[in-house]
Amino acid sequence: MSSSFVSTSATLAAADIVALESTHSAGVTARRPLTIVRGEAAYVWDEAGNRYIDCIAGHGALNVGHCHPAVVAAIEEQSRRLMICPTSLYNDRRAQLLSRLTKLAPEGMKRAFLCNSGTEAVEAAIKFARLSTGRPGIVAARMAFHGRTLGSLSATWKPQYRRPFEPLVPGFRHVRLNRLEELDEAVDETTAAVLLEVVQGEGGVVPAGREYLQGAQALCRERGALLILDEVQTGVGRTGSWWACQQMDVTPDLMPVAKSLAGGFPMGACLIGDRVGRLPAGSHGSTFGGNPLACAAALATLDVVEREDLPGRARRLGEMFHRRLAAIDSPLVREVRGLGLMVGVDLRIKATPVLKGLQERGVLALPAGPTVVRFLPPLVIEEPDLEEVVAALADVLASAET
C-alpha cells in the first residue's frame, strides 16, 4: 500500500507531521515531541505558534541567527544566477569566498577545500594529513566527536557510535585530553596528525588547555606530524574569537570548519596551512563542494559576523551568561564550563529531564553527554533572552530539587 500523498504546498497538521516523520525517516535520531516550523534570529516557533529561545540553533549552525536577512538575500540572488559550478571550472563566488575565508583564517592558512558538512571537512583533513606526510597514524582524544562517516567516526570516541560499524579505519588511537605526557608517548614517526577539538562539544563542553594545545603543536612540529584542530563547532565566532585556536595562540596545519560557516546553509571547509605539502589533482573532490549558492551564503555570513562583531559579542555575552549561570544557587550544579557562547552546565542529575523542563519554559537547549546541558545560542541573541534562559534553568533546577 502506498503512503498517503502529501502536497508540498499543503499545511500539515502537527499529528501528521509526527506520523510521517516517524514512519518514513531512517529513525536513527531520537526525537523530542516538538515540531518547529519557523525561525527568526534567536527564536523558533512551533506549529501551534509557541515561541522558543533557541539555544540549540541547529547544533551551533546558526551563529548569525535564523534566516538572517543578509543571508536570505544572498541565497535569493545567487539562486537566480548560478547554483552549481563544478570545481573543474572557475567561479566568481567561489574565488571570492576562498579569498575571504583564507584572509580570516589563522596565520599561514592560504588554501581551503570546500565541502558540505563537518564530517566531510574532517575526512578531508585526515586524507590531506596522510597524503602530505605519507604516514597513516591519527591520534585523537578520548571523548572527542569528529563526525559519523567512517573516517571521522574512527576519530570519534563514543563506543555507542563506533561499535556497530567496526572494523573502522586502521591507524587511529585515542589518548586522554589535557595529558601532554600521553600525547608525547603516542606521537611517533608513523603519526600523520594529532586531531583535537579546541573545546570538546559533544564530549561535554570541555576546553583543551592552552599549554596542552601549545605542547601538542610543538610535539607535532618536532616529529613531522600535522596538527588538525576541528573547529566545526567552535569556529566562526562562537567562542569569542573568529577561531577558538586564536585564543590559545596555537596555529593548526589543517582546520575543518562547518556548522555556522554559511549562516544555516550546508557548507564545510578544510583550511590548509603551509606545512601541508602540495595536494595532487584528483586526490580528493566533491560534487557539491564549493557550489556558488553555498559560497554566496558563506560570503554573506562572514560579512555579518564581521560587521556585527559577533566574536566580540560572543565574548561579552558569554562572560555575562557564564557568570549568571554560575550564580544559580542549586546543589544540582556541579560546574559551568565553556568559552564564549559555547557553554555547558554539568549537573548532578541527568540532563534529559532538565532539557524537557527548559522546553516547557520556552527554552531549547541540547545535551552534551548524560549530565551536561549545553547552550549554543545564536550570537545575535539579546541579553534579556539570555537572562530568561538563566531564570528558566534556575526554575527547572529548583523544582527538580524537591
Ligand X SMILES: *Cc1c(COP(=O)(O)O)cnc(C)c1O
Site for ligand X in 82-121 (CB under 6 A): 117-119
Q: Rounded to the nearest 5 degrees, what angle is found at the Cα of 141, between the Cα atoms of 106 and 349? A: 110
Strands 199-200 and 226-230: unpaired
Q: How many residues in the shown chain lie near ligand X by CB under 6 A? A: 14
| Sites for ligand X among residues 125-184 (CB under 6 A) | 145-147
- Coil, strand, or helix at residue 93? helix
Residue with cell 575543518: 256
Nearer to ligand X, 145 or 212 (CB): 145
Query: Could you say whether residue 229 binds ligand X (CB under 6 A)?
Result: no
Q: Sign (positive/negative) of CA torsion 41, 67, 338, 305? A: negative
Distance from C-alpha of 275 to C-alpha of 396, rounded to nearest angstrom = 50
122 is an interface residue for ligand X by CB under 6 A: yes
**In the bound complex, what is the minimum distance in angstroms from residue 338's beta carbon to ligand X?**
14
Q: How far is the CB of 340 from ligand X (least distance, A)?
A: 15
Rounded to the nearest angstrom, the gap between the alpha carbon of residue 391 and the centroid of all alpha carbons in its chain is: 26
Our finding on whether 258 is near ligand X (CB under 6 A) is yes
Q: Hey, which residues are catalytic here?
A: 145, 230, 259
Query: How far is Cα 172 from Cα 195, in angstroms, rounded to an integer?
Result: 10
Report angle CA 164, 170, 171 to the nearest 5 degrees. Answer: 130
Q: Cβ–Cβ contacts within 10 Å for residue 312, how many?
A: 14
Which residues, 6+ apart, have CB-to-CB distance to 278 below 8 Å? none
> In the 8-state DSSP scheme, what is residue 89?
S
Cβ 346 to ligand X shortest distance, Å: 18
Cα-flanking dihedrals φ and ψ of residue 137, to 5°?
-75, 140
Question: Which residue, 266 or 273, has its beta carbon nearer to ligand X?
Answer: 266
**Cα gap 339→201, rounded to integer Å:** 11
Interface map 52-71 toward ligand X (x if CB under 6 A):
-------x------------
Q: Which amino acid is at 179?
A: R
Nearest to 242 by CA among 296, 302, 202, 300: 302
| In the complex, least distance from residue 286 CB atom to ligand X, rounded to whole angstroms | 13
| Closer by beta carbon to ligand X, 233 or else 241 | 233
Q: Which residue has its beta carbon closest to ligand X?
A: 118
- Location of C-alpha cell 576541528: 230
Question: What is the three-class DSSP state of 278?
Answer: coil
CB of 203 to ligand X, least distance (A): 9
- Encoded one letter per residue, x for contact with ligand X by CB under 6 A and - for no contact, window 181-220 reads ----------------x---x-------------------
Shortest Å, Cβ 230 to ligand X: 5
Q: Which long-range contacts (CB under 8 A, 24 or more apart) does 277-282 make?
A: 277/131, 277/132, 279/128, 279/131, 279/132, 280/131
260 binds ligand X (CB under 6 A): no
385 binds ligand X (CB under 6 A): no
Candidates 233, 246, 251, 301; binder of ligand X (CB under 6 A) is 233
Closest distance of CB 265 from ligand X, Å? 12
Query: What residues make contact with ligand X under the rule CB under 6 A?
Result: 59, 117-119, 122, 145-147, 197, 201, 230, 232-233, 258
